[in-house]
Structure 1
Amino acid sequence: MRFLCLPGAYGSAKNFRIQLGPLANELERRGLASFTYSQGSHEVEPPAGWEDYFGARPLYRFLDTRHGDNFESLRRLRHMPYSVNAEDAIRMFQECGDGEDWHQQVWREAMDDVFRTLDEHPDVNAVIGYSEGAMVGASLIVEEALQAQQTGRQPRIQFAIFISGSPPLKFEGNDRVVAQLADQVGTAIDIPTFHIFGCNDAFLSGAVALYNVCEPTKSTMFDHGLGHIVPRDAENVRMLADILEQLIPKLEGGNRRPETKTGSGEASIQGER
């Protein structure tokens, strides 16, 4: 199974290869997966006070956030009370950010960019995304299903790993883009998914809202007990690889979507602009 790897905001293909390295290396060693690393097309500067947090520059985002959304808006989600359920937390986050919406053109450009990368790598049949990359990956799956209905384009993504993600986005009205939430749309993602997050994640409500919008009979979750990170310690990597060693062969043997099988090999880096 070959994964398209999508980093978080203020990330890059190069940095995500390092972040994901321990788990990716273990999966490759076991002959379970290979990896293609991508990144957003919009180069960004890290927020003030976070210059050394995100790793080596250049850094990128999938979304063009020069107008509207900025890093400060994420702080609101960190302070949502724990008594609020995941869907209400996402709604409150969007509502209190009125005027900072990602416009449909911005989102369409981001989706088109990811689809171009997918088309450039015909052996990719799975996705792994972290934070913003998980949101983009989830939206890619939803968009593939929509295109299959509208144009007959065959969906490519058979399996998704979401690390500290948030729910997929959809168009609403003339110019808004909003999250798809389980209490509004039910199941939005029906392929098998594996959700990795930590109970100490300040943005846990986003990861839970993403889990809730996936088909429950095909979803697995893993709590690494840490924060908003890609787990890299030996114990978590071993446990994650053990779970995926059970999941991936079953998907390769019986998934309903046609699959291009690939052996393990060196990870590649795509889109280092």
Structure 2
Amino acid sequence: MKFLCLPGAYGSAKNFRVQLGPLASELERRGLASFVYSQGTHEVEPPAGWEDYFGTRPLYRFLDTRQGDNFDNLRRIRYVPHSMNAEDAMRMFQDCGGEGEDWHQQVWRDALDGVMKTVDENPEVDAIIGYSEGAMVGASLVVEEAEQEKRTGRKRRIKFAVFISGAPPLKFEGKDRIVAQLVDEAGVVIDIPTFHIFGCDDAFLSSAVALFNVCEPSKATLYDHGLGHIVPRDAENVRMLGDIFEELLPKIASEHENRREAGMACLGDGMNGCEVEGTTSQPSTDFT
């Protein structure tokens, strides 16, 4: 399986290669995966007070924030009371625009189109690993692929997604807003197998939980590394994550191949009563 790796805000392909290095090396050593690294197209300066936190310059974001960071208030989610559920927490801080501010919809469209272009330029990519902002973009990519397949017949490329300290996918609302897709409003919007990696000490835990909640529960796996808003790099977590990937990836590959063969059989049979997606005749794999 070949992963497209999407870094967080104020990251870069170079820095994410270092962040993900121990886990990527472990998966490569086990013969499970290979990796291609991408980054946002908008060069940015880190926030004041965080100049030395994000690593070697230059730094990038997928989102063009030159006209003001439309998503800045989401960072305040760290102060949400622990008693509030993930969806209510996201709703408190998802006011992504005001009257007369419609520029951000184009910002988001450009970001998503850029990542889809990267997928098209790497024909072997069939999975994603996203961290923080990269996970939000990756989740939105999965949803966009499913919508494009319905609209245009464009085949979906991503069959497995790994989200590290992520956030739920975004969608357009009205003419000038972007909002998170939340399970109590949109239901399950990601139907492929997913693996969610986050820590119980993550200041943005609510957003990671909200992402998990919009993924198909029978195909979603959770791993709590016990730390904060980071990519786990210590030996024990890397070993345990390697074990989980070693169990998950063959199942995902097998299910994908079974569906492909079932689809070809249906075509050969003239679609004689076949339903490839969502039928009881398909193998049911529990990824939990």
1:90-110 deviation per Cα after TM superposition (whole angstroms, max 9, x unaligned): 000114x65388721001100
In 1: Cα distance, 2:103 partner to 2:235 partner: 38
Secondary structure of 2:20's counterpart equals helix
In 2: Cα distance, 1:138 partner to 1:51 partner: 28
Q: List runs of 5+ in structure 1 lacking aligned partners.
A: 260-273
In 1: Cα distance, 2:214 partner to 2:50 partner: 32
Answer yes or no: is 1:124 the counterpart of 2:164: no
Identical positions, percent:
76
Q: Which has the higher contact order (CA 8 A, sep 6+)?
A: 1
**Higher-Rg member (1/2):** 2
1:75 shift after superposition: 3.8
Instruction: Write out the 4+ residue segments of structure 1 that deviate beyond 2 Å after TM superposition.
Output: 70-75, 97-102, 256-259
Q: Contact 1:158 / 1:257 at 8 angstroms: preserved in 2?
A: no
Q: Contact 2:194 / 2:215 at 8 angstroms: preserved in 1?
A: yes
Secondary structure of 1:231's counterpart equals coil
1:174-204 deviation per Cα after TM superposition (whole angstroms, max 9, x unaligned): 1211100000011000000000000000000
In 2: Cα distance, 1:27 partner to 1:202 partner: 28
Q: Contact 2:63 / 2:111 at 8 angstroms: preserved in 1?
A: yes
C-alpha spacing 1:44/1:258, structure 2 compared with 1 (3 Å)? farther
Structure 2 counterpart of 1:73, which letter?
A: N
Structure 2 counterpart of 1:39, which letter?
A: Q
Q: Which residue of 2 aligns with 1:27?
A: 27
Answer yes or no: is 1:91 the counterpart of 2:115: no
C-alpha spacing 1:16/1:159, structure 2 compared with 1 (3 Å)? same
C-alpha spacing 1:35/1:11, structure 2 compared with 1 (3 Å)? same
Answer yes or no: is 1:66 the counterpart of 2:66: yes
In 2: Cα distance, 1:177 partner to 1:27 partner: 36
In 2: Cα distance, 1:7 partner to 1:114 partner: 12
Q: Which residue of 2 aligns with 1:163?
A: 164
In 2: Cα distance, 1:71 partner to 1:185 partner: 20
1:158 shift after superposition: 0.3
1:250 shift after superposition: 1.1
Answer yes or no: is 1:201 the counterpart of 2:229: no
What is the CA RMSD across the aligned residues, in angstroms? 1.6
Q: Contact 1:13 / 1:39 at 8 angstroms: preserved in 2?
A: yes
In 1: Cα distance, 2:29 partner to 2:3 partner: 15
1:55-99 deviation per Cα after TM superposition (whole angstroms, max 9, x unaligned): 00000000001123268524411101111100000000114x653
Q: Which residue of 2 aligns with 1:133?
A: 134
Answer yes or no: is 1:236 the counterpart of 2:229: no
May I ask how many residue pairs the two structures share in their alignment? 258
C-alpha spacing 1:72/1:214, structure 2 compared with 1 (3 Å)? closer
Q: Contact 2:71 / 2:94 at 8 angstroms: preserved in 1?
A: no
Q: Which residue of 2 aligns with 1:264?
A: none
